[in-house]
Each structure stands twice: as C-alpha cells, then as structure tokens.
Structure 1
Amino acid sequence: MNPLDFTGRAVVVTGGTRGIGAAIAHAFRMAGANVLVCGRSLAEVPGYVQADVRDPEQAAALIETAVDRFGRLDVLVNNAGGSPQVMAADASPRLHAKVIELNLIAPLHVSQAAFPVMRDQRGGGSILMIASVSGVRPSPGTAAYGAAKAGLLHLAASLAVEWAPFVRVNSLVVGPVGGPAGELVAGRAADPADVAGACLLLASPLAGYVSGAALAVHGGGEWPAYLAEFRGAAYPPQK
C-alpha cells in the first residue's frame, strides 16, 4: 500500500488558487485526493469556493461545503496568508489588525470548524499550518506578519495537545519561495512544489505519530549576515 496515496480522501486548502496553495492543491489531486480550495476573489480553478476565512461564518461554511461534497474531511491546509512590506512605525492600526487576522485568527476559525468533523469520523484528520521563517527570526518590514506566524506555531502546538489523538496538527516553517532570495539560503529559494511535498508527507500515515511538530522547509536556512563574506569564498557560484 502506498502511504502517499490519498485516493478517496478529502482535502481543503485555503488560499489555494495560486503560489504555494495552488501547488499544494495540485499535489494532493495528483495523489488521488478530492480537493477544495478557497479564496476571497472569484477564480476559475478546479474545486473552487469563494470564502473569506477571516469571517468565522464563512470559514464554517467552507468546511460544511467540503463535507457536503466529499462526505468527510481528512486534511486541512491553512495556507491563506501574507502581508505587504511596511515598516512597523508607518503601518496603520487597521493594517496590523488585518495582517494578524489573516495569518493567525483565520487559521483558528477554519481549524475550529474542521475539528468536530475530523474528531467524529473514522481515521481522524490532519491539520497543517503554513508558517514562515518570519515567525522564528526578526521580520523587519513585516513585523505584524512575523508575530502572527510565531503565534501560528504556538497555536498549532497547543491544538495538537488539545485535539490528540483524533486530529494531528503540524506546522511547516517555510523559507523564501522563488525569486532572488534564494541567494540567502541553501543555494536556492524553495519551489512551491517543495512545500507541497512536505505537506503530503505530514498528512500521510508516514507521519501518523507526528503532531505538534514544526517542520523546517527552508533548505537549511539563511546565512547570518556576519558570514556573508565567508559564504562567498567557501561556495563560489556554480557555472
């Protein structure tokens, strides 16, 4: 039996219309799962439902829709998030509140709605939080975002204890995805597919006794600024 075969399983991915979310949704579909994705704006993608997960009623309706369509809910990926680059002293109180609401409160809303479904079905369920390295190191320019992602890690660890053994709750600490930021990490930035593969692993029976974990998906992490000169000398660019 292939432990990465999700045939007949039901998956919800918030913010699953583009970027990391779209890659996660695609990976689960390729593994045989029935996948529902959501976003705030209309999108022409498979299994799409329009929902603003910052609203607890819409978050609950999203889970209800998944259960109505698929009869169960096996995996929830709380991926929706993000923040504009604004220095903390210049950001408005409203912006700070919205960033924290999207990146921390919304995952709690959706997870709360998913829990009773997963608890009461055979096999339980798995919830994945897409966190960030911004939550485990300074995040200048996105301070509220980093604080929210740090809170998300704590939330996942707390829910893992509260909801065991019925529901496993884990986090992915994701590094820079795409773009020139790859120069700061282990040779390259992450591809969305790298994050998607880690989601498949954590949601699978291979991680059946893994809960409350924070899996680093950052290629080894960033070089400290004080070692930048050494890094260039030790590892010259490959031609």
Structure 2
Amino acid sequence: MDIGNPIDFSGRAVLVTGGTKGVGAAIAAAFLAAGAEVMVCGRGEPAELPSASGRPALFRIADVRDPTAAAALVAAAVERFGRLDVLVNNAGGSPDADAATVSPRFVEKVVALNLLAPFYVAQAANLVMREQPEGGSVINIGSVSARHPQPGTAAYTAAKAGLLGLTRALALEWAPRVRVNHITAGPIRTESAASVHGEDEGAAMADVLAMRRPAMPDDVAHACLYLAGGLAPYVNGADLAVHGGGEVPARYLTRTPFSSS
C-alpha cells in the first residue's frame, strides 16, 4: 500500500458480508471510493448495489450461517479478484425478543448469524490471507450490546459478546500475517433501524448520547478504512468504539437536562 496515501486501496480486494444496505453498503462504498475491488453478499439480490466513482460492488448470494456457503463466498471473491485483502464481517442483527419465552430455534439463528457466521467466513479468509505476502485484515462489526445489554436482546447480546472474544482470540492466533480487529458500534441511523429511532429520526435518542446524535453509516465505514489501511499496521486485537462516547447514565438524566458544556 502506498505509504503516501494510507487509505489508498487500489489493487486490493475487499469482501463485506451483509453489504447490500445500511452500514454494510456504506462500508462497501467507502472501500470502492478508496480504489478497492469489492464483493458484497446477502440472502437476496438488492435492487441497487453499493457504488462509488461509477464502480459498483459485485454481488453474490450467500447465507453465511452455513459454513459451506461461507467458504464458497470467499472462494468466489478470490476467483474474481485473484486475492483477498480485507474481510468485513458486517452481517448481523436481531429483532427484540422476550428471553423468558423465546424459542430455541430463534436463539440458534441469532447466535449463528452474529457469532458463528463471522467465524466461518474469517476462517476461510484466513486460509487465503496467510499465504499472501501482505497478509490481510479482518474486521468484525460488533455492538454496544456486548457490554451494555438492553431488554429484549439476550441472545443478541450473548452472541456479540462472543464476537468480541472471538476477535481477540483470532488476533492472537493469526498474527502477524493476518490482523483481526473489532468495532463496537452504537446506535446507527439506518432505514432498518427507523422503527427504533421513531418518527423524529432519532432526535429523542440524541438527548441521551454524548455526541448528541446517533452514528451515521459512514462513521463506521471510515473506521473500517482506518483499521484495514496503512495507518494501522500494528493494530491487532483492538476494540475500536464507534459510539460517540456512549450514553449518558440514567441517573444523570433524572436531574437537570444534560449539557455538553
């Protein structure tokens, strides 16, 4: 990578799981804008693919919860690009569910998507990256829920906590050739999160956030460029918080209105 421009990804290949909408699409577009070749995946082909500078991402249907499909996805990226430099494990999420009554099948699906799938794709990617002279970078997109659970998110919280632990374990095992890092993302303003943000598009939520607004997808995308790029060659096993400083503790919100001054 050109040391003069540490976010120049020209000639590099990037794979983004769940990269067809929301945060994943922003990540894909950011890497495209930086010159990379990008493949995204999903369980259904979107009406529009992420693009930048007139270059769209490539798309492949894949259910990354299936280890065979995960390996085939990586193989397809390598076949198309001849290499794989960056994997962003972005696919994830879960609807809220009552832990007292949720079904075993629901729990299994949530854990499979948010913990097992990143493991499967990273495992296949590592086999490729470790043979490349430049190695590679794996970035796992996590959640503040891993440290601060919310009601209705027991299975999701457990899976995301596991993803953080997995990141640290893989960082130890796969260094120095392959770096593995984690992003702890806070509330993000996306179309899929509109029901959470409400009709005010997150204005009420902003009152309890230190930065006074939810994150935008590009906030996470730019963090990925840093972790995968030339400014972070010694950053491995890190947990980069992209939550704007987090939420103001509830005990303070019961007093006078929160002020940043």
Equivalent position amino acid for 1:200 in 2: L
- Alignment match of 1:50 (pick from 41, 48, 61): 61
Aligned partners of 1:193 and 1:231: how far apart in 2?
A: 33
* Conserved 8 A contact 1:176-1:182: no
Equivalent position amino acid for 1:95 in 2: F
Q: 1:206 to 1:91 in 2, by over 3 A?
A: same
1:48 deviates by: 0.8
> Residue 141 of structure 2 aligns to a residue in which SS?
strand
The answer on 1:200 being equivalent to 2:203 is no
Partner of 1:157: 168
Aligned partners of 1:139 and 1:110: how far apart in 2?
A: 28
Partner of 1:24: 27
> Residue 120 of structure 1 aligns to a residue in which SS?
coil
Q: TM-score, normalised by structure 2?
A: 0.88
Aligned partners of 2:123 and 2:258: how far apart in 1?
A: 50
The answer on 1:229 being equivalent to 2:240 is no
1:233 deviates by: 4.7
* Conserved 8 A contact 2:252-2:258: no
Aligned partners of 1:76 and 1:102: how far apart in 2?
A: 16
In terms of mean alpha carbon deviation, does 43-52 or 27-36 score higher? 43-52
Partner of 1:14: 17
CA displacement 1:9-40 (0-9 Å, x = unmatched):
00000000000000000000000000000001
Partner of 2:186: 175
Q: Which runs of 5+ in 2 are unaligned?
A: 50-56, 190-196
Aligned partners of 2:167 and 2:256: how far apart in 1?
A: 34
1:42 deviates by: 2.0
Q: Which has the higher helix share?
A: 1
CA displacement 1:146-203 (0-9 Å, x = unmatched):
1100000000000000000010000000000013233321210000000000000000
Structure 1 vs Structure 2: percent identity of aligned residues?
A: 59
CA displacement 1:97-120 (0-9 Å, x = unmatched):
100000000000000000010000
Aligned partners of 2:143 and 2:90: how far apart in 1?
A: 11
> Residue 129 of structure 1 aligns to a residue in which SS?
strand
Aligned partners of 1:154 and 1:65: how far apart in 2?
A: 28
Aligned partners of 2:82 and 2:119: how far apart in 1?
A: 22
- Alignment match of 2:38 (pick from 35, 59, 66): 35
Q: Which runs of 5+ in 1 are unaligned?
A: none
Calculate the aligned-residue CA RMSD, in Å: 1.2
> Residue 101 of structure 1 aligns to a residue in which SS?
helix
Partner of 1:74: 85
1:230 deviates by: 4.0
Aligned residues: 236
Partner of 1:123: 134
1:231 deviates by: 6.1
1:138 deviates by: 2.0
> Residue 44 of structure 2 aligns to a residue in which SS?
coil
